[in-house]
Amino acid sequence: MRQLYTRSSSLKRLFSFAIGRSRSSKGDSEAENAYPVHGINPVEPAIDAKSPLKPTWRCFSYDDLHKATDGFHKDNLVGRGGYAEVYRGVMADGLPIAVKSMTGAATDEQREKDFLTELGAVSHVQHPNVSALLGYCVDCGLHLIFEFSSRGSVSSNLHDKNSPPLAWRLRHNIAVGAARGFHYLHKECQRRIIHRDIKSSNILLTSNFEPQISDFGLARWLPAEWTHRAVAPIEGTFGCLAPEYFMHGIVDEKTDVFAFGVFLLEIISGRKPVDGSHKSLLSWARSYLDDGNIQMLVDPRLGEDFDMRQLKRLTFAASLCIRRTASLRPSMTEVLELLEGGEISQDRWKMPKEEDEEDFWGFDDLDEYDYNECGTPSISSTGSSQMCYNNINNVKLSPTGLQ
């Protein structure tokens, strides 16, 4: 108990200092030596563009969170992952919130590392298509507080059999909005962020179906002067992992681009990246993409209710994103241009012959991997905290392009 109190007090001093630092002109050397926490560097707060001295998040009291979530009641539990639980709540002023409580790490040190890693990423992010951080709490555990997305995840809206199919117009708007969010993370954010866990259950929807990227538990900064970085262990979601990441632990912007291509195919088809029979969405979609028979990719529940011009753009972008070789994939800037009406140039994106002739790479035996509560295998998805990992797995990945 004394150790827990000491560590909580250290974190309080750390955050008090970090916020105070934004209001001070003291040198970096003095800042780095103040209120040290073993093995952890101070977190820089996000700064509001309108007021360079005002952080965009605040400290919540545990009592307020306890009241807002009705004592963290099980009926308010909306997400559970490898290292966190997410509860919905309503503050006294009527503000709906989502409280992410760090619960699953094996040690206090790992829990603090996970907490500060995610806070360090999201506290610098301000974009309409990224979940907004409202604040944190370090009393009685470690908690991150976000705006609550009332319509749940894209995954739940796509795959809930008891709900009507998501309209094409909404699907297209979600794809474009998500692309804007990832373009911001890669190109416009204060610090370039690689998400590493792009999937439909990590993209939430507001009341008007505006997509918001969430769950930065696996996110990593990529300094401007770096082309890539190597990470270990390999963490993420089967069906969404880029080949270079799964095989070698190489992470860069194109890692997210690959996963975004899988997300586009899921939006179009209404199929999970790997279905209950372990059939890969990529393997299924490849022949239709190669043959140009893209109508066959559309969710059959939509019938003829889709826009053919938008479908061409979505499928063309997806086919480029899921190419095996990272250098042959577009950037998120180029993906966004395609989705928003940019020129579709077959010659510009023509697949090199040697790439086009390569065989499938992949893995067929999933028995050796752990299965989560939804009965689907995953790789150390410690950064995930969705309601249910119902869109994971991958049996085969393939080099794909339009002929």
Residues 385/272, Cβ–Cβ less than 8 Å: no
Statement: residue 248 has pLDDT above 80: no
pLDDT in tens, 37-49: 333 343 444 444 4
Give the DSSP letter string of 230-253.
Answer: E-SS--B-TTT--HHHHHH-EESH
Between CA 16 and CA 43 the distance in angstroms is 11
- In percent, the amount of the chain with pLDDT more than 90 equals 48
User: Which residues share a beta bridge with 280?
Assistant: 274
> 2-147 and 154-397 share one CATH topology?
no
Residues 271/279, Cβ–Cβ less than 8 Å: no
Between CA 316 and CA 166 the distance in angstroms is 21
Q: Tell me which residues are annotated as active site.
A: 197
Residue 206 φ/ψ, nearest 5 degrees: -80, 180
Q: Which CATH number fits domain 154-397: 3.40.630.30, 1.10.8.10, 1.10.10.10, 1.10.510.10?
A: 1.10.510.10
pLDDT in tens, 178-227: 999 999 999 998 888 989 899 999 999 999 999 999 998 888 876 555 55
* Least reliable range by pLDDT among 12-16, 290-294, 305-309, 350-354: 12-16
Indicate the helix (H) or strand (E) that contains 53: strand 51-55
Q: How many CB atoms lie under 10 A from the CB of residue 304?
A: 7
Which residue from 356, 339, 334, 341 is spatially nearest to 401, judged by alpha carbons? 356
Just give the CATH number of 2-147.
3.30.200.20
User: Which of the two residues, 173 and 365, has the higher pLDDT score?
Assistant: 173
**How far is CA 385 from each of CA 98, 196, 208, 338, 364, rounded to the nearest angstrom?**
12, 14, 23, 31, 27
Residue 60 φ/ψ, nearest 5 degrees: -95, 150
Q: What is the pLDDT of residue 220?
A: 81
Statement: residue 168 has pLDDT above 50: yes
- The alpha-carbon radius of gyration of the chain (Å, integer) is 21
Delimit the domains of the chain by residue range.
2-147, 154-397
Statement: residue 350 has pLDDT above 80: no
Average pLDDT of the chain to the nearest whole number: 76
Q: What is the pLDDT of residue 3?
A: 46
Q: What is the pLDDT of residue 155?
A: 95
Residues 265/285, Cβ–Cβ less than 8 Å: yes
Confidence tier at 266 by pLDDT (50, 70, 90): very high
Q: Is the pTM of this model over 0.85?
A: no
Q: What is the pLDDT of residue 234?
A: 55
Q: What is the mean pLDDT of residues 384-388?
A: 39
Statement: residue 387 has pLDDT above 70: no
Residues 56/123, Cβ–Cβ less than 8 Å: yes
Between CA 35 and CA 226 the distance in angstroms is 31
Q: What is the dihedral of CA 351, 353, 359, 361, to 10 degrees?
A: -50
161 belongs to an annotated ligand binding site: no
Between CA 389 and CA 377 the distance in angstroms is 9
Q: What is the dihedral of CA 237, 240, 244, 248, to 10 degrees?
A: 10
Which residue from 183, 204, 235 is spatially nearest to 88, judged by alpha carbons? 204
Confidence tier at 120 by pLDDT (50, 70, 90): confident
Q: What is the pLDDT of residue 243?
A: 83
* Least reliable range by pLDDT among 17-31, 119-133, 217-231, 313-327: 17-31
User: Which of the two residues, 207 and 249, has the higher pLDDT score?
Assistant: 207
The residues, ordered by sequence, that sit 6+ positions from 304 with a Cβ below 8 Å of its Cβ are none
- End-to-end Cα distance, the chain: 64
Between CA 171 and CA 142 the distance in angstroms is 35
